[in-house]
Amino acid sequence: MRVAAIQTTAGTDRGENLERAGRLVEEAAAAGATLVVLPEYFSVAGSPDHLRRHAESLAGPTVTWAAALARRLQIHILAGTVPERVDGPGPAGTAPERIFNTSCLVDATGAIRAVYRKVHLFDVALGAVSFHESATVTAGDRLCVVPLIGASDEPGPLLGLSVCYDLRFPEMYRIMALDGATVVAVPSAFTAATGPAHWELLLRARAVENEVFMIGAGQVGALPRGMPACHGHSMVVDPWGSVLAERTEPSPGVVLADLDEGLQSRVRSELPVLANRRPDAYRWPGDDTRGGTGSGL
């Protein structure tokens, strides 16, 4: 399967962002990609107020655009993330109208195949970078693994969905791998402050730990006021931790890679870390139902 990670520099205008992203998606499809992953907030970027004003439902302009494009090009498109507006009662203490940071997978018929709402919100104060995503966005509470359906309607690889800051929480990726994920997408707006040290390291670590392919699609460069500058360096990593393809140029573009399922099978057979787990010996702190972490004497 050939996949593509799209790298963009989104502005405040949705129409312009979709037009630019569309050209890159078409380039990827023309090169044979059947799964195209767009970055976090690819359709609209800006301050928290700007995101609130431009939040939309899954029937809104961005997912409608992605569905039409996927249907015309006969590919799967992961519509990076969009600020999703959800009306109605939410968890205790949340407003009736909530905003999620939402990733949406559409298939070659234009149908929505999966929806993932970012679980881990970027609340940090690191040097010059200070961002409090939870002031604007409501956290999701469910993981997502979905089969990719090929032209023959036969199930293909299982795709796990995650977003940006999720990458720092390894338990999420292990659970998706145990649920069958063989490929994991990471639409991101990874910051320029942390990206050089952590982006590639974390993508490769999650790939090696779980013996999955990782597709990291990032924003790059200066985004509108209210968002940190972004690292870019979109890439695809294989289950051995090797970088199959990457974009080191700090500009929008397309990263293409072929995913070798045979390689993945060999890695999982020869180094069976998932099969060799000992969950009966593990426990979360505070959980007394499993083995402990004492001296072992």
Query: Active-site residue 246, yes or no?
Result: no
Query: Active-site residue 104, yes or no?
Result: no
In the predicted model, what is the mean pLDDT of residues 94-117? 90
Q: Is the pLDDT of residue 127 over 90?
A: no
Q: Is the pLDDT of residue 117 over 90?
A: yes
pLDDT of residue 286: 82
- pLDDT category, 192, cuts 50, 70, 90? very high
Q: Cα–Cα distance between 213 and 192 in angstroms, integer?
A: 24
Q: Is the pLDDT of residue 293 over 50?
A: no
In a domain, 120, yes or no: yes
Q: Which of 56, 84, 144, 164 is catalytic?
A: 164
Q: What is the CATH number of the domain that holds 168?
A: 3.60.110.10
Share of residues in the chain with pLDDT > 70 (%): 92
Q: Which of 40, 56, 133, 211 is catalytic?
A: 40
pLDDT of residue 93: 52
Q: Which residues contact 90 (CB under 8 A, 6 or more apart)?
A: 96, 98, 138
The backbone torsions φ and ψ at residue 75, rounded to the nearest 5 degrees and listed phi first, read -140, 170
In a domain, 283, yes or no: no
Q: Is the pLDDT of residue 193 over 60?
A: yes
In a domain, 211, yes or no: yes
In a domain, 167, yes or no: yes
In a domain, 289, yes or no: no
Q: Domain tally for the chain?
A: 1
Q: Which of 56, 118, 133, 144 is catalytic?
A: 118
Q: Which residues contact 282 (CB under 8 A, 6 or more apart)?
A: 290, 291
Q: Which of 29-33, 91-95, 136-140, 227-231 comes out lowest in average pLDDT?
A: 91-95
In a domain, 296, yes or no: no
In a domain, 290, yes or no: no
Domain, as residue range, for 141: 2-274
Q: Which residue has the higher pLDDT, 125 or 73?
A: 73
